[in-house]
Amino acid sequence: MINAKKIKIGNGEPFVLIAGPCVVENEKTTMKTAEVIKKITEELNIPFIFKSSYKKANRTSINSFSGIAFDKALNILSKVRKEFQVPVLTDVHDEREIEPVSHVVDVLQIPAFLCRQTDLLVAVGKTGKVINVKKGQFLAPDDMMHVIKKIESTKNNKIWLTERGTTFGYHNLVVDMRSLQIMKKFGYPVIMDATHAVQLPSKGNESGGEREYIPALAKAAVAVGIDGLFLEVHPDPAKALSDAASQLPLESLKELLITVKQIDEIVKNEK
């Protein structure tokens, strides 16, 4: 069991929701989304970790939105953490940013495309923070053991593993549900990212997506017995500045969580 603040994740505990807008666009959208998700999760008694990226380094086009000013984005994440009293997760892309970011958030995330970067993994491990690693689209689940060992070399065992789909031909991803069970054998909490898994990567000048399949992937993963569910959620996905085609509408979140919680309870009560 690897905890984030008071939230327990793993070892048969009820699933944890990691959710929020893809990237910090502005304070209003970020705070509104956090407020609504906090209200829903409190009502449903679901542990909640807020997620939003202070910037997006991996963009399809040079013209794609990558984020607002670094300090401003961190201040907004800090405000979410304090005002709503929830743990905060964000991804890091550069070793130079790890130290300031680690003072603001509770969980540092390694993006999928960077999951083999040894120096970056060692640097985040040394912070002592919880580290969530997205499995690369190009990796088999067994390969994540090498990623784990890099972080463990720093004496940090606070590791989470997240599935987000595997490259399937050009501009498409698939999710092999077996990978969730395979990664569980490493002894660390396993999370399903049901929103990035519906992306259509680099389709034209930006990534596309098929958000209509988010509920199916989320329900299937929870039925496998995951420890956490990762969802990028936005009040108006069509106007989102990043991953517009693959974020879940905020208005659809509660209905999905009600079903997901029922499945989670059935699966974990059987054990």
Task: Quick: pLDDT tens for 72-122.
Answer: 999 999 999 999 999 999 999 999 999 999 999 999 999 999 999 999 999
Q: Enter the tokens of residue 112.
A: 């999928």
Structure-token match 């505990």, residue found: 13
Confidence (pLDDT) at 271: 58
Alpha-carbon gap, residue 250 to 21, rounded angstroms: 9
CA-based nearest residue to 53, from 85, 6, 93: 93
Alpha-carbon gap, residue 72 to 45, rounded angstroms: 31
Confidence (pLDDT) at 265: 97
In a domain, 3, yes or no: no
Alpha-carbon gap, residue 16 to 7, rounded angstroms: 8
In a domain, 7, yes or no: no
User: Does the predicted model carry a pTM greater than 0.85?
Assistant: yes
Q: Which range of residues forms the domain containing residue 210?
A: 16-269
In a domain, 11, yes or no: no
In a domain, 1, yes or no: no
Confidence (pLDDT) at 188: 97
Taking only the tens place, the pLDDT of each residue in 9-63 is 999 999 999 999 999 999 999 999 999 999 999 999 999 999 999 998 887 788 7
**Domain total for the chain?**
1
Alpha-carbon gap, residue 18 to 208, rounded angstroms: 22
Could you list the beta-strand ranges (E) of 76-222.
88-91, 107-110, 130-134, 159-163, 166-167, 173-174, 190-193, 199-203, 206-209
Higher pLDDT, 203 or 210: 210
Alpha-carbon gap, residue 58 to 114, rounded angstroms: 10
CB neighbour list of residue 189: distance below 8 Å, 6 or more residues apart: 1, 2, 9, 10, 160, 161, 227, 228
In a domain, 8, yes or no: no
Q: Determine the 3-state secondary structure of 33 from DSSP.
A: helix
Q: Which amino acid is at 2?
A: I
In a domain, 6, yes or no: no
CB neighbour list of residue 104: distance below 8 Å, 6 or more residues apart: 74, 77, 78, 81, 88, 90
In a domain, 5, yes or no: no
Instruction: List the CATH number of the domain containing 22.
Output: 3.20.20.70
Longest dimension (CA), the chain: 50
In a domain, 4, yes or no: no
Taking only the tens place, the pLDDT of each residue in 148-171 is 999 999 999 999 999 999 999 999
Determine what percent of the chain is predicted with pLDDT higher than 70: 98
